[in-house]
Amino acid sequence: MEEYDKKSNKGKTDREEIFSRTVRAGKRTYFFDVKATRRGEYYLTITESKKRFDKDGRFHFEKHKVFLYKEDFDKFADGLNDVIEFIQTEQGFDEVEEEIIEELEENDKKFTDVDFEDLEETK
């Protein structure tokens, strides 16, 4: 593929995005972009972006990109669903959610409920 020349505006640019969704997940950001081929057929690019710091403190974004064409959507989705189901079965997201709820309940116990009526009576 020919590179884009910013000075002369010659060459090919990235395909125009038809639809886009951004998902921020912790230190990573995922971009799901629908683009079209020259023939007008849609495809998906999935980009993972991570902020990285150089030794001198400057940062840059490290990006990884996957191109997914419509003839592969079903197989990709099946594989992704299988892997997610495996992880949920083996490690149980429900257990993680229960642990978070228990931790929040413990934190709530550390604080005493204050009734504002009680404060008025002490004046």
Q: What would the pLDDT profile of 63-108 be if each residue is shown by its tens digit? A: 999 999 999 999 999 999 999 999 888 887 665 566 666 666 665 6
Q: How buried is residue 104: exposed, middle or buried, by Cβ count under 10 Å (0-12/13-18/19+)? A: exposed
pLDDT in tens, 28-66: 999 999 999 999 999 999 999 998 888 888 888 999 999
CATH topology of domain 19-111: Nuclear Transport Factor 2; Chain: A, (3.10.450)
User: Judging by beta carbons within 10 Å of its beta carbon (0-12, 13-18, 19+), is residue 56 exposed, middle or buried?
Assistant: exposed
Cβ atoms of 69 and 43 closer than 8 Å: yes
pTM for the model stands at 0.58
